[in-house]
A and B are shown apart, each in its own frame.
Chain A
């Protein structure tokens, strides 16, 4: 970056804008979009609307957090949607033993999937996209087999509270997402594990030479990602009060990857932006909400999303020569 040379020039400083945009562009976009909505969208700044947006974005944020960690190691996890379906399918089966048991079983399912993904990537040495593709295909199939392909209603008071209850004026769902964000942010910024994760993503060979437990860290990252996805699956069941293995988490891997990428985490690894990921998920949610409020069709929304992804990646591309 020739920041020094460019800074000497008066007027708009292109180089600095270029360096600034990938990091803070997503926040700027959110601010602009919120301003636009405050000014031009009727009934946007109402509590009920904001509440709905937050509830809708919460599962995506939770999945995207795990995805951000995986992408930070230069990997990708396509199986998150299938893990959600698997977790959702297991809930009604074990609800008889109580809510805690059912949720635990779902989380264990996530843990197992993560172990398989992680082992395939770290020990066998498969490319992450292929390793997780196998469970993307097989996981949902398994979920459908477990649930018998049927939609099952869930009528458990505790679970329903988890999905639609309030705590201190905010939905429980949102609190859970906030806690997850804080935990993941803490892991990335303040723990040895986080440092190792970034080191592996930055340069795996040198991380190995430096004596880091590369395989163990990689497996743990995939486990965390899958467990987060299974939490999202449980919450999805709690929110819609039914378990439908064919619909829960469908295409969420795309939303999660989009949130991570728009949030400024490079696909090349070595860097995880936790708050950026949250902002990325919020931005995409806001874009969709704004377009729906202005009676634009979902098809237009999808095309706009495509353009936003391309812009975000194009802008972030400059940072490759880090």
Chain B
């Protein structure tokens, strides 16, 4: 570009035209990169609705949304973490831990069933955040240790995973099974939290700090952003949301199942990445993550619709999907840099 502008032989109008075209390409590429998951989601939903009459029923949609509620919460927290340039591998374990603790605490009532897992998983999030912010250890390793530690804690609390606590509180149980206009309470709750997440990330000081830290830590700290505090908060947020996801899942199932959650963290990362958030940090949106989570959910649902296909195909398709999306994204980012 600079070369063209300084070249006296090229008329100014041509240069301006060129710049405009470059800007347009840049904008289109940017939109595709950010909203690509949404576009694919729409296409997949349309195809599925045409192909399987059962898919487009109200009941099936409600089922799909309920199934997507816990992964959505986890992916929401993961979005914040990844935008700061970090990663949180502990959320799968925290999800199970949250479920077990919520089921156990439900004997003390509805509020305890929510508060105890939130406190416990939030505390582990605080430890993650402190270690990452103050010791400069890689987030990958710190949260890997937390993955092991939280799983150990969960097993210790459930007699090596053999005790399944039943939900004792009727109020908590009905939160998990009850519906409002045909859609589960938990979906409404997750929807509200997601909206709050969108507002916090795009409209608040904290949200800007999250982007700034992910963009460049040094620049952020020179700008006066509290880098360490921001980092600690995103891991706390991630821990809290994972614990809450476990709690609402326990409410739905009526017990604290100890064998779920393996690989949940990687599903969440996949959803976030498909949603257009860059793992390098500094860029990404919650709306993209919503599309990513729903997309993975819809794929699973479609495979269930087909019926005679093994469920393991879902993993193959999700994996292939992830690869395609990420490769496409990388090329789009390169294209933006070139133009």
Are A and B genuine complex partners? yes
Residues of A within 8 A of B (CB): 76, 78, 120, 124-127, 129-131, 133-142, 144-145, 148-149, 250-251, 254, 257-258, 261, 267, 297-307, 309-310, 313-314, 317, 320
A303 pairs with B319, CB closer than 8 A:
no
With A and B bound together, what is the CA distance between A136 and B315 in angstroms?
9
With A and B bound together, what is the CA distance between A257 and B263 in angstroms?
16
For A138, what are the chain B residues with a Cβ–Cβ distance below 8 Å? 315-320, 322-323
B266 pairs with A137, CB closer than 8 A:
yes
B149 pairs with A313, CB closer than 8 A:
no
Top 3 A-B residue pairs of the complex, sorted by shortest distance between their CB atoms:
A138-B319, A141-B315, A302-B152
Contacting residue for B323 out of A120, A127, A297, CB 8 A:
A120
User: Residue on B with the closest CB to A134?
Assistant: B323
Contacting residue for A149 out of B262, B270, B310, B323, CB 8 A:
B310
Which of B107-115, B133-141, B189-197 sits within the interface?
B133-141
For A251, what are the chain B residues with a Cβ–Cβ distance below 8 Å? 262
8 A Cβ contacts from B279-293 to A = 279-280
B270 pairs with A306, CB closer than 8 A:
no
For A144, what are the chain B residues with a Cβ–Cβ distance below 8 Å? 310, 312, 315
With A and B bound together, what is the CA distance between A254 and B327 in angstroms?
25
* Sample of 23 A–B contacts (CB below 8 Å): A78-B266, A125-B334, A126-B327, A127-B279, A130-B326, A131-B326, A137-B266, A137-B318, A138-B315, A141-B315, A144-B315, A148-B310, A149-B310, A297-B156, A298-B152, A298-B155, A299-B152, A299-B155, A300-B156, A306-B147, A306-B152, A310-B137, A313-B137
For A129, what are the chain B residues with a Cβ–Cβ distance below 8 Å? 87, 140, 269, 279
B138 pairs with A134, CB closer than 8 A:
no
B327 pairs with A120, CB closer than 8 A:
yes
- B148 touches A (CB below 8 Å): yes
Separation in Å of the B135 CB from the closest CB of chain A?
A: 6
Residue among A78, A258, A305, A310 with max Cβ neighbours from chain B (10 Å): A310
For A250, what are the chain B residues with a Cβ–Cβ distance below 8 Å? 262
- B330 touches A (CB below 8 Å): yes
B148 pairs with A306, CB closer than 8 A:
yes
Residue among A134, A142, A250, A320 with max Cβ neighbours from chain B (10 Å): A134
Contacting residue for A303 out of B135, B148, B160, CB 8 A:
B148
Give per-residue flags for B306-339: 1 if the beta carbon is below 8 A from chain A beta carbons, else 0: 0000101111111110110011001100100000
Contacting residue for A134 out of B147, B279, B322, CB 8 A:
B322
With A and B bound together, what is the CA distance between A314 and B132 in angstroms?
11
- Known contacts A138-B316, A297-B155, A303-B156: A126-B330 contact under CB 8 Å: yes
Residues of B within 8 A of A (CB): 87, 131, 135-138, 140-142, 144-149, 151-156, 160, 262-263, 266-267, 269-270, 273, 279-280, 310, 312-320, 322-323, 326-327, 330-331, 334
B314 pairs with A306, CB closer than 8 A:
no
Contacting residue for B270 out of A131, A133, A300, A303, CB 8 A:
A133
With A and B bound together, what is the CA distance between A141 and B319 in angstroms?
9
User: Residue on B with the closest CB to A76?
Assistant: B140
With A and B bound together, what is the CA distance between A37 and B266 in angstroms?
38
B137 pairs with A141, CB closer than 8 A:
no
B318 pairs with A300, CB closer than 8 A:
no
A306 pairs with B146, CB closer than 8 A:
yes
With A and B bound together, what is the CA distance between A322 and B170 in angstroms?
59
A314 pairs with B135, CB closer than 8 A:
yes
B315 pairs with A134, CB closer than 8 A:
no
User: Residue on B with the closest CB to A79?
Assistant: B319
Contacting residue for B320 out of A134, A305, A306, CB 8 A:
A134
A133 pairs with B269, CB closer than 8 A:
yes
With A and B bound together, what is the CA distance between A120 and B327 in angstroms?
8
Separation in Å of the A172 CB from the closest CB of chain B?
A: 31
B131 pairs with A310, CB closer than 8 A:
yes
Give me 6 other A-B pairs in contact (C-beta within 8 A), A136-B319, A138-B323 excluded. Answer: A124-B331, A133-B270, A133-B273, A141-B317, A306-B149, A317-B136
